[in-house]
Structure formats: C-alpha cells, structure tokens
Structure 1
Amino acid sequence: MSDEQLAIHGGKPVRNAYLPYGKQVLDEDDIQSVVQVLKSDYLTTGPVIQQFEQDMANLTGAKYAVAFSNGTAALHAACFAAGISEDDEVITTPMTFAASANCVLYQGGKPVFVDIHPDTYNINSMSIKEKITKHTKAIIPVHFTGQPADMDEIMKIARENQLIVIEDAAHALGAMYKNQKIGSIGDMTMFSFHPVKHITTGEGGIITTNQEDFYKKLIQFRTHGITREPNIMRENHGPWYYEMQFLGYNYRITDIQVALGVSQLKKLETFIQKRKQLVELYMEELKNMDEIELPKQLPYVESSWHLFVLKLQLSKLTVGRKEIFEALQKENIGVNVHYLPVYLHPYYQTLGFTKGICPIAEKSYEEFLTLPLFPGMDEGDVMDVVRGLKKVIKYYRK
C-alpha cells in the first residue's frame, strides 16, 4: 500500500515515533535544582517554597502567592478562603477539567454552569447575569487553552453583585489581558504545574492574590487549619505551641517539587515564545482547510497557548470525530479532546444536572480536537502533525 493509505488501514504512519499532545521539558539546570534540595536540610516546608511563591507573585504582579500540592487543592483552598459553604452557588464554565467545579462541591456549594462563547470557548460573560441569584457567592472563569476570559465584564458583574472572582488559570500562566498579566486581576487566581502545563513541579498549584485576608486563610488551610501565629492564637502555652482553629487539609507542597518550579520559571518566557511560534506555523499550514475551524484570538489578549484546539466541520466529513481521532492516533499523532462538559460526567448526572444546559459547549465538545503542542516540539513535528491531519481529512472528505 502507498504512504497515502491510512495507517489505521495498514498504511505507513506519517511518524515513526508517537508524538504526545503535551509533555514536560526538563534540562540539567532543572535536575541540579532538585539535587540541591535533596542535599539540603529541608525537603518540605522550607525556604525554597517561599522563594517560589515570591517568584510567582513577582511574575504575576500579585502581592501574595501560596503554593499547594496540586491545582485542585489550590482551587479548594480558594473556595474556602472565599467563604463558600452549603447552599452557596458558584458560576463557572462547563468547558474545563472537573476540578473547576469539584472545588465548589468540596465546600458544600453548588456549581452553576454558564454556556461558552462560540468563538473563544470561554465562559460567555454576557450570560452570567442571568444565572445570578440570592445564593450566588462567586464566579470561577476558566481561561480555556490559555486565552483569557472577558475579565473586565466579569469583574464588573462581580463588583455590582458583591461576588468573589476566582480565576482558574491552569492554562494561562504568562497570558495577558489588556496588557495586564493574568494572576492579579481577580480576587484569587489558580495556576497549575502539572507536567503538560507551561512549567511543571511534577504536581503542584498556586493561588495568587492581592488581598491579605485571603492570603492568611490560604496559608492556614493548606496545613490542617493550624497556626503558630501568636497574634491569632486563643492561647499560647510556649514556643512549641500551635493551634488547629478550623478543619483544613494537608495540601502542602514539597521543596523538592518547587525547586523544579523555581528552575522552570526562569525558562517560562522561552517556553511561551516557542509555543507561539509553533502555533503560528499550525495556523499558516492549516488556514486553507475547509474541514476544520482554527482557534480565534481576541486582539486585546495574549494567549499563552497551553492547548491548540480546533473544530472539525463534521458536515464536510464522512465520519465522526471518533474515527478521525483514532486514525490520527494510528499515524502516531497524539491528539486529544478537551473537554467533556463537566455536568455530563456520570457523577454530576447523579446530582441532577442534565444534558442541554449549555448547548454550545455540548456541540463544541463533539467537534473539538486538540493537536500536540509543547515547547519540546520543533517545526518538523508540527509539519508531521499537519501532514497527518491533511492525510486523514483527505481520506474522509465528502
């Protein structure tokens, strides 16, 4: 069979080796940074954590940063600090990883889903007002793929209704909204350091904030609700004494992890620039394909391009997304899909959520396809993806 025959039907794949959709990029400096901590006196709750938190605060322009064991823990802590509790409602988007809504459930609150904008795939800010009730406590916008949501409108709505804004910026480290860095616009902002994100600590997350009261609650929440601060303790039995003042969690991150983060953060700008270069090549090479819709970027934002998500124009294809996905995987192109709308997960269905709540998100999910994008790729990798996609689309074109 010729090379034009799809690999799924026995032809030769466009790549010999599998290309994942995302992957960490580590170098010797990263390794040595971790080794230094392993040789030091502190493996956890030591000085490197404070350094990493300060570095992140400086990067985002926030006054404070508090690191956690993972991004979900950080979101949970933010919901606690915001005072979310039973019967409170929190507005968010369904086009996200489940953690963006799970954090509300952890506090006994109820997620309220608002549909996405058809162009940006972020929460449609113009629809938020319709969902506000007397029980609404907060808004959790998600900067999907790294493109910031409409923060001016979201913050305006929040201030008019005395709501707290917790930005889920797991995709958006280094992104800009109207020349302002993501991380200091909302009341609190979460960043994730999972290996497929812009920088990694293995697992890890952080909350940035400008508000001291939130900062203090976050610090205490990540260590069982325990404090050693004499000015807030009810009693003081001596220098050994500490108090657990509320039910917190062990959400501490280790110095081993953040040592990697400190080193990775120095390369963030290089990583983002590489992502942008790869995206530019994708956009140029795929711009004339009628069977796909490329992502749209607003002129007043700078995406940090965590993901490159396109839409399949299924009406122009003889098969569905599943067949396209499987064919590309056989070509050794590690495509993915982001995301199943949160409320369609079986657990959320048991809570009473039903299909049809957010029709644009549901339709988009059926059409979305995520192409590989990470700074360890080169132009040759992008061209392999392009060749693989064009090969599969050509085969299944109507």
Structure 2
Amino acid sequence: MRSAPIPYGRQSISPADIQAVVDVLNSDWLTQGPTVERFEQTVAGYCGTAHGVAVNSATSALHMACLAAGLGPGDILWTSPNTFVASANCGLYCGATVDFVDIDPRTYNMSAERLEEKLERAAREGKLPKVVIPVHFAGQSCDMEAIGRLAGRYGFTVIEDASHAIGGRYKSEPVGNCRHSAMTVFSFHPVKIITTGEGGMVLTNSAELHERLVRLRSHGITRDPALMAGESHGPWYYEQIELGFNYRMTDIQAALGVSQMTRLDEFVERRHHLAKRYDEALRDDPFVLPFQHPDSYSAFHLYVIRLQAGEPGSGHKGRKEVFEALRQRGILVNVHYIPVHIQPYYRANGFDAGDFPQAEQYYREAITLPLYAGLAEIDQDRVITALQELLCPPSAPK
C-alpha cells in the first residue's frame, strides 16, 4: 500500500483551536471585534512590543507598513531577492522603485556587508532607499543590529519581514520586538509557525505608526475628533482622512490565532528537535545543511538543504532529478525561493540573471525538506532514507 504523501509544511489544529473558533461563531462578533484586539495584545506581549495591528494577510501588512513609513512615488525600497514576491511587490503598490541586496551565502538572509557597500554607492549617487525590508529567511533573524546601525547612518526606515520567524529570537530577545526596526511583519498562513487560516500582523513601538496602521487597515477612516477636518455631527460620525483599505482580520481568524499562540513555544521546540534529527542523520551526505548563526535562535519555518551540483562521473544527481524523484515517492519537497529579480515581471523592469549571484547560486541548489510540528519521526525517517538512497549510490558508500 502506498504511503500517504508528506507535505513540506502543514498546520497543527487542536481541539482547543476548534473550540475557540466555535466560541466566536456562537458569540455576537464574527468580523473584527474584541478577539482581534486580544490577538494583537497576545502577540505584542509575547514579543515585548507596544502595539500590534492584525490584518488579513502578511502581504497587506507589508503594504500598510510601507505606507505608514511614508513610502511613495519617487522613493526607493530595497529587500532581499531570496524571498516571496510580496516582500518586493509591497513597494510597487506604493508607487516606489524596488531594488535588491544580495544574500549572505551561509544564512541566505540579506547580507549586511553587501547592504553597506550598496548604501555607500547609493549615497554617492543620491539614490538612497527610503525603506529597507530585511527578510528573516526560514525563521532565522537577519543581522538586525548591523542593519539598524546602517539605518541610523543613512536615514532609511527598517521594516522586518519576519513572516517565517514568529517564536524565533535574535541575541536572546524575541523577533518582533522592533529594537532595530520601525515595524515587524508576521504571517499566519497555514504553513507558517502558527496560523489564523490567512492573516498577518504589523508590530511597532511607535504610537504614531500604530495610529496610522489602524486607520489604513479600515479605509483611512477615523472617529478621532482631533484628526477630523470638520465638526463632529454626533457619536455616529466618522471621516475618511486618507485612502485606506479593507485589510481587516475577523474575530474567527483571531480566535484561532489566540489559541495557537498558547502552543507557539511548543511548535518551535518541536521544529528544532526535527531539525536536529535531520542534522544528525544527513551530516555526512553530499549537501550543505542549514547554518545557524550563534546570534539567532531560528523559528525553523523551513529546513533547506543545498545539493552539490552533479558533475559528470561524480554519481551525484542534480536538483531537478532529486526533486522529481522525491515527489514520485510522495515526499512533497519544495523550493524556496526563485529569486524575485528573475521573475518575468521584474526582468521586464530592468533586472536580469547575474545581478545577485549569491541568491542565484543558492536557488540552483536549494530543496526544502518537510518540516512542521506535526511531522512524525517515522515520516521524517522516510524522507531521510529516500534522500540517502538517491544521493549516496552503492559505489560511493558513506
């Protein structure tokens, strides 16, 4: 009998999660209400941040964060090429120009060294970015102290894309505390560390940014008389004072999020346990395992290996061959990510292969293995065995 497929990522839903959602369905609130506020306070409290603004996706969160930072036409946003397209598209939504900073070859995060070099050139040319979005790839924090220091020197706003990293830590402090940034964005998609079905959140320590984010989330509307252009007509009165959006989260989603937060540390601990099992089982095999910087405690959203390119006569298979063979065995590996700058849309806007060589080399070799809190060790052993059978031919024993 064929074994059930093993996805690369999957949500973990408990009876308590289900009951939390049912409780909201039986309440007076379904759309944005008191449970959304409770979820915001729960996440912000966990991270040690003053404010959280929950929205319907991390893409919406990135867009709002850019608008709150004042990004607009004529401005420039830089991010990592090794990310999902949303980290760059959010700048385009604001009418800004987007560019990229190549990655560190060990962490696969934005390289602080390449960022500094690019900033020095941009300062000479008068083309400094207004916003920089470092992406905490696979759950491991970027070098935020270095990036924050550069932000102070060159005057740009830092928005952390921590979509992979809730529950992670940087220099022993929670990712999301905004110590080195103006805002941090989390994602709650089902393959992430915790889920609300779809959803995201912006965290900030700034009361001013928080106020604007709340307004942008709901059509740019305010009920604060101090912000109104006219005189209030009564307790029902509101004014739209800027162009906002319907990016609201529902109480149904937030109830799931509040319940999931009670298991966040458990989820991350389990992911570390499984990552260690991969490390120990695969350490002598012909590929590169994930590097963990001592300053970072990863949330381990992803476990990515890099295959060594198969040279003629080496007996090593290439990435595409391994990917297809694993999928045929029901092991639903994935690839994270195709570099954003080589997507057709971005090529049409002036980027090309060769622009960011470290990101491109990484992409040619990367495969994401299954990793999620509910992954059974017997299934993980299936993954390990299949990899070793494919990559360690009998003529070249380990």
TM-score, scaled to structure 2: 0.94
Which residue of structure 2 aligns with residue 97 of structure 1?
A: 84
Distance 1:335 1:86 in 2: 39
Correspondence 1:266 to 2:262: yes
**Unaligned runs of at least 5 residues, structure 1:** 1-11
8 Å CA contact 1:142, 1:168 repeated in 2: yes
Judged with a 3 Å threshold, the aligned counterparts in structure 2 of structure 1 residues 60 and 202 are, in CA distance, closer, same or farther, namely same
What is the Cα deviation at residue 301 of structure 1?
1.1
**What SS does the aligned partner of 1:129 have?**
helix
Q: Check conservation: 1:33, 1:259, Cα contact below 8 A.
A: yes
Secondary structure at the aligned position of 1:260 is classed as helix
Q: Is 1:145–1:172's contact at 8 Å kept on the other side of the alignment?
A: yes
Q: How far, CA to CA, are the matches of 2:176 and 2:395 in structure 1?
A: 43
Quick one: distance in 1 between partners of 2:136 and 2:395?
A: 33
Contact in 1 for aligned 2:317/2:391 (Cα 8 Å): no
SS at match of 1:231: helix
Q: 1:191 aligns with which of 186, 195, 198?
A: 186
Contact 1:317–1:396 under 8 Å retained in 2: no
**How far did 1:317 drift?**
4.7
Amino acid at match of 2:59: T
CA, structure 1 residues 298+260, in 2 after alignment: closer, same or farther (shift >3 Å)? same
CA shift digits 1:148-181 (9 cap, x unpaired): 0001100000011111100000000011111111
Q: Which residue of 1 aligns with 2:131?
A: 138
Structure 2 residue ranges without an equivalent (≥5): none
| Paired amino acid for 2:305 | L
Q: Does 1:153 align with 2:151?
A: no
1:155 alignment partner AA: G
RMSD, aligned CA: 1.4
- In structure 2, what is the equivalent of residue 69 of structure 1? 56
Contact 1:89 1:137 in 2 (8 A): yes
Structure 2 counterparts to residues 358-369 of structure 1, below 5 A? 358-369=356-367
Q: Which residue is 1:182 aligned to?
A: 175
> Do the aligned partners of 1:195 and 1:203 also contact (CA within 8 Å) in 2?
yes
1:207 equivalent in structure 2? 202
Q: Is the 8 A contact 1:319 1:396 kept in 2?
A: no
Report the AA paired with residue 206 of structure 2: Q
Question: Where do residues 1-398 of structure 1 align in structure 2 (5 Å cutoff)?
Answer: 16-132=3-119, 133=122, 134-135=126-127, 136-184=129-177, 185=179, 186-235=181-230, 236-289=232-285, 291-315=286-310, 316-395=314-393
List structure 1 runs of 4+ shifted beyond 4 angstroms. Answer: 395-398
Measure how far apart 1:378 and its partner are: 2.0
% identical equivalent positions? 48
CA distance in 2, matches of 1:254, 1:238: 27
Farther off after superposition, 234-243 or 16-25: 234-243
Residue 111 of structure 1 deviates from its aligned partner by 1.5
- For 1:278 and 1:394, the matched residues in 2 are separated by 22
**d(CA) in 2 for partners of 1:208, 1:137:** 19
Distance, in Å, in 2 between the alignment partners of 1:397 and 1:232 is 75
**Which TM-score applies when normalising by structure 1?**
0.94
